[in-house]
Structure 1
Amino acid sequence: MAGTQPGGTADRPLDVLIVGAGLSGIDAAYRLRERNPGLDYRIVERRSRIGGTWDLFRYPGVRSDSDIFTLSFPWNPWRGKRTMAEGDEIRDYLEQTAHDFGIYDHIQFDVDVAGADFDTATDLWTVDVIADGVPGVIVTRFLYMCTGYYRYETGYRPEFPGEKDFEGTFVHPQFWPEDLDYTGKNVVVIGSGATAVTLIPSMAPTAGSVTMLQRSPSYMFPNPWEDGMTKLLLRLLPPQRAHDVIRWRNALLTFGLYLYCRTFPKLSRRTLRRIAKTMLPKGFDVDTHFRPKYEPWDQRLCVIPDGDFYRAIKAGTADVVTDTVKQITPTGIDLDSGRHLEADIIVTATGLELVAFGGATLSVDGEKFEAGDKFAYRGYMLDDVPNMAWSVGYTNASWTLRVDLTSQAVGDLLKHMRERGYTRAVPTLRGTRPQAHPLLELDSGYVQRAASRLPKAGDRAPWLVRHNLILDAIDARKYEVTEEMTFT
């Protein structure tokens, strides 16, 4: 526990309970107080430290897969000079931010939210928690779920035939053992996503061999660890001004790349193939290992800083095999092609398991509702669910770009309610249900597996969920908090 936590009872409810002390939760605390000075809020965090994703993932080389100037907060400039940041740097930044802006004393750690019920007779949420192993309740007027969209307690882990016979070590990146020694060992990483391409070049200099075993290829895009323009702007401009300029420059460049890939898929496929061919050894079979069947940005592009993944392959310290697992043997993996991969350690970088609201059970007047049955209002509230918001970032840009817009919008909503004495705000469809679309616009396996468990997007405002930071930023300036919202 990080400080005295008054309020949170039926006699003295909190104004806002924020669930999660990662990027989203810290940003929410700042933005809500910015627009509502004196707001009585608390943050509960299931882990023992600040950081969320950046405290959970501790595998070798863990880093941001988007540039740090868009991932960090616009109201607290990033002080480093590199374009991308490592996981421990990001976690330290979050903790220092919480201390510097008076947020840390509002955080209660080791608190797991099991469920919450909204009572329309009192317009209050009763939140069931387990704090330090002891059940309890917190009462709040508004519930803000900053829990991300994947399960912390389990990752996606398919079972492989014969895996019980393996004499080596299985590791999932989400639960990396601190004492794992892979020096001189043969390592096979199953998977081809962002985690795999981060792990492999980090392990390659120490391990005996590192092989990426992929069922199908992913698109890779080299991005520099640092660039001259960023360094120049940081030297010439005051920190906040430099941060603002770099943030928007990087955001627009990233979004421009996304638009290029989606508008010109064939041309962008050729561009990415040409980059791979240039950076890989002469004669390398690019079309087998780095030519996906899908179009660029049907799945998220894997960023490789300074092309480190390609460089590891070129240097001969890493390898890639495109094949499928027939069975696990005591000494490694038999592939359907007949090849055998020797392995002392098998890393199952097979993905995340998505879940809404951190897995908490939510209800209104005792009637449970499923996230998959609801439409997302402007991407962060749910139809017919009062006084609750959920923070989810972009799939095609930095997470923080959207969650910061969300926190500002929630702050404006609370201000509107407080100024007019409203105790309930609930989005309502008001007539015809929109045509349903996926909330997350990706064909990735981890998204498709959980599509039915996530809220739906609609085909008309304010139920339209766009992964377009430019249009969202424009909308944020003209958005009316009363649009298809019922107040009591």
Structure 2
Amino acid sequence: MAAEKSIHDYDVVLVGAGISGINFAYRLQERNPELSYCILEGRHEIGGTWSLFKYPGIRSDSDLYTFGFPWRPWEEQTSIAEGARIINYVKESAAMYGIDKKIEYKHHVNGADWSTPAKRWTLDVTANGSEQKTYRSKFLLMCTGYYDYDEPLKAQIPGIEDFKGTVAHPQFWPEDMDYTDKNVVIVGSGATAITLLPNLAAKAAHVTILQRSPSYIMSVPAQDGIEKIIRKLTWWSKPLEHKLIRLKWILVPFLLTCFASTFPNACRKMFSKAIQAQLPPTIARDPHFNPSYNPWEQRVCFCPDGDFYACLRNGTGSVETGVIEKVTPNSIKLTSGAELHPDIIVTATGLKVRFAGGMKVTLDKEPLNMAEKFIWKGVMLEDMPNAAFVIGYVDASWTLGADATAQLMCRILKQMRKEGVVEVVPRRTEAEAKSMIEEPVLKLTSTYVRKAKDVLPKAGSTGQWRARSYYFKDIWTAWFGDIRTGLEWVRGV
């Protein structure tokens, strides 16, 4: 006879103990302390991305003053930080507020079913690889990020299986791999590749980035002049210092992205000039650093104190732009006729996008295809009751979007309790259903995002269904915006 599943009841279940999940838990404790909650985490520890990735030099591609939590300021005087420091910061933050005591580790959510009669979610969970558990909650918060932790994006590299050297993917970096005095080729041109080059170059004989097309790579100082001035002027108040520096990091990227969207050609020229100033005479900006797109149509890569460009200038790193014809047992041949001879190939070709951690969702036992649905305010999925998803920004820190989501949902939860509402569910009107034009949730032209079209839900062209835009608007909406239109509120009997 099969063992009976243990059942655990909560007001709210959060899935994922990365930076989004920890932030959401804090907001719940702060604003809805009457609600019981737990966090289900599939891995063995806190941290999400920062726990999973172990490649050399892994670091944030956003500043920590906004990527960090607004309720626990980043104290260090450097904006870009390594993965180990970030995960320590997240763990310390969770412990400081007792959030770590609410986490169930190695708890993988297989599926979630909404019961309309019971007005609650039932989650099928596998704990520690084999134990079957059931969790029930009135509300479900998905803090699972946007990519597949178990499987990387498979790059189409002809002949890669014939290569006799080492092939590594950054998502599953071999901890015992020795690249000392080896020739390394990194296939890819995104943030991971830009991070890897200077860190591998410290030991390797030479590191080459092999890219099909270039990215924007901007150097940022560990501490800029504005921050130094703020610290001098606010020596008497650490809280004020933190607020002003954080505001600066919210405001400056916002103004830059506005400038880029309004004056794309001028922004492109500005970026090109800054890049040219970093390059050695031996490396031409065109084609290696002349992207075919405008800034922020794909993510802009940042390198602290120009460490990426320093490697190009001292000769330990280089860039090759071209299309791979085939990989042989000991070389990479390009369609241009060029040939590379690596000992190690690193496939930094992007992430495999996955929504809601890949869990199966059903409504009254009927499967819900999330990719067919529109998303309300970038937070709640059409026809899916009492559930929210965390989707951050692609042109600013992820955490800014995560916190705007958390504050909006805490406000909705508070209003539900005040009015005796047991169910809220996004619904499009008949007119909206007929006229709505589909738009992407993530407004990027990157290959890995384009490949995820059939995985992600849809944003709409009008009303509450538009994709989220920028932090100032979203946080205002979280505090004061319309939470009625497009939502069906169902009171308890």
Residue of structure 2 in register with 1:224 after alignment: 221
Residue of structure 1 in register with 2:478 after alignment: 476
Q: Which amino acid aligns with 2:163?
A: F
Matches within 5 A, 1:458-469: 458-469=460-471
C-alpha distance in structure 1 between counterparts of 2:238 and 2:358, whole Å: 39
Asked if structure 2 preserves the Cα contact closer than 8 Å seen for 1:396 and 1:467, the reply is no
Structure 1: give runs of 5+ residues left out of the alignment: 1-7
SS of the residue aligned with 2:157?
Answer: coil
Asked if structure 2 preserves the Cα contact closer than 8 Å seen for 1:74 and 1:243, the reply is no
Residue of structure 1 in register with 2:329 after alignment: 330
C-alpha distance in structure 2 between counterparts of 1:288 and 1:480, whole Å: 48
Q: Which amino acid aligns with 1:190?
A: V
C-alpha distance in structure 2 between counterparts of 1:163 and 1:300, whole Å: 27
Q: CA deviation at 1:174?
A: 0.5
SS of the residue aligned with 2:393?
Answer: coil
Q: Which amino acid aligns with 2:64?
A: I
Residue of structure 1 in register with 2:418 after alignment: 419
Residue of structure 2 in register with 1:129 after alignment: 125
Residue of structure 1 in register with 2:3 after alignment: none
Q: CA deviation at 1:285?
A: 1.3
Residue of structure 2 in register with 1:451 after alignment: 453
Residue of structure 2 in register with 1:24 after alignment: 20
1:318-370 Cα offsets, whole Å, 9 max, x none, are 00000111111111211112222111110000000111101101110111111
CA spacing shift, 1:237–1:44, aligned 2, 3 Å: farther
Asked if structure 1 preserves the Cα contact closer than 8 Å seen for 2:408 and 2:479, the reply is no
Q: CA deviation at 1:425?
A: 1.0
1:225-283 Cα offsets, whole Å, 9 max, x none, are 22243345346253332222111111110111111222211112221211121111125
Structure 2: give runs of 5+ residues left out of the alignment: 1-5
Asked if structure 2 preserves the Cα contact closer than 8 Å seen for 1:200 and 1:309, the reply is yes
C-alpha distance in structure 1 between counterparts of 2:126 and 2:368, whole Å: 21
Matched, 1:408 2:411: no
CA spacing shift, 1:159–1:284, aligned 2, 3 Å: closer
Residue of structure 2 in register with 1:300 after alignment: 299
Asked if structure 1 preserves the Cα contact closer than 8 Å seen for 2:77 and 2:222, the reply is no
Residue of structure 2 in register with 1:315 after alignment: 314
Residue of structure 2 in register with 1:80 after alignment: 76
C-alpha distance in structure 1 between counterparts of 2:162 and 2:407, whole Å: 53
Asked if structure 2 preserves the Cα contact closer than 8 Å seen for 1:216 and 1:322, the reply is yes
C-alpha distance in structure 1 between counterparts of 2:293 and 2:483, whole Å: 39
SS of the residue aligned with 1:268?
Answer: helix
- TM-score, length of structure 1 as denominator length: 0.95
Matched, 1:90 2:86: yes
Asked if structure 1 preserves the Cα contact closer than 8 Å seen for 2:371 and 2:454, the reply is yes
SS of the residue aligned with 1:327?
Answer: strand
Residue of structure 1 in register with 2:235 after alignment: 236
Residue of structure 2 in register with 1:116 after alignment: 112
Q: Which amino acid aligns with 2:333?
A: D
Matched, 1:150 2:150: no
The list of structure 1 runs, each at least 4 consecutive aligned residues, that deviate by more than 6 angstroms after superposition, is none
C-alpha distance in structure 2 between counterparts of 1:297 and 1:147, whole Å: 24
% identical aligned pairs: 44
C-alpha distance in structure 2 between counterparts of 1:51 and 1:232, whole Å: 33
- TM-score, length of structure 2 as denominator length: 0.94
RMSD: 1.6
SS of the residue aligned with 2:422?
Answer: coil
Match of 2:41 among 29, 42, 45: 45
C-alpha distance in structure 1 between counterparts of 2:350 and 2:475, whole Å: 31
1:102-142 Cα offsets, whole Å, 9 max, x none, are 10100010111111010101011111111001222111111
Residue of structure 1 in register with 2:29 after alignment: 33
Aligned length: 480
SS of the residue aligned with 1:272?
Answer: helix
C-alpha distance in structure 2 between counterparts of 1:218 and 1:195, whole Å: 12
SS of the residue aligned with 1:248?
Answer: helix
SS of the residue aligned with 1:403?
Answer: helix
Matches within 5 A, 1:126-205: 126-133=122-129, 134-205=131-202
Residue of structure 1 in register with 2:358 after alignment: 359
Q: CA deviation at 1:160?
A: 2.5
SS of the residue aligned with 1:487?
Answer: strand
C-alpha distance in structure 1 between counterparts of 2:57 and 2:318, whole Å: 18
Asked if structure 1 preserves the Cα contact closer than 8 Å seen for 2:407 and 2:479, the reply is no
C-alpha distance in structure 2 between counterparts of 1:171 and 1:283, whole Å: 29
Asked if structure 2 preserves the Cα contact closer than 8 Å seen for 1:378 and 1:462, the reply is yes
C-alpha distance in structure 2 between counterparts of 1:173 and 1:44, whole Å: 25
